[in-house]
């Protein structure tokens, strides 16, 4: 768990104590957003065919 919390130190605005204060609901919302972005990107890149643009 602590390794995953250290991973969240992407932004300089958050330190470990402020990350620990985030609610589980906020973290779940963030995780769902990242997953949705990953799925959308995968679907869009899957249908990307250079022949369609010529």
- The dihedral sign for the CA sequence 46, 32, 9, 14: positive
With respect to residue 13, please indicate whether it lies within any of the assigned structural domains.
no
State the residue range of the domain holding 29.
20-46
* Threshold 0.95, pTM exceeds: no
**Taking Cα atoms as reference points, which of 8, 40, 38 lies closest to residue 21?**
8
Q: Give the tokens for residue 45.
A: 């890149």
- Looking at residue 46, its pLDDT comes to 80
Higher pLDDT: 3 or 29? It is: 29
With respect to residue 29, please indicate whether it lies within any of the assigned structural domains.
yes
Mean pLDDT of 11-24: 76
Cα–Cα distance measured from residue 3 to residue 23, given in angstroms and rounded to the nearest whole number? 18
With respect to residue 25, please indicate whether it lies within any of the assigned structural domains.
yes
pLDDT band at 48 (very low <50, low <70, confident <90, very high): confident
With respect to residue 24, please indicate whether it lies within any of the assigned structural domains.
yes
Mean pLDDT of 6-33: 77
Mean pLDDT of the chain: 76
Total of domains in the chain? 1
């Amino acid at each position: 768990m602590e390794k995953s919390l250290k991973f969240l130190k992407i932004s300089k605005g958050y330190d470990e104590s402020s990350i620990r204060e985030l609610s589980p609901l906020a973290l779940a919302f963030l995780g769902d957003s990242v997953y949705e972005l990953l799925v959308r990107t995968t679907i869009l890149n899957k249908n990307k065919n250079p022949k369609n643009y010529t």
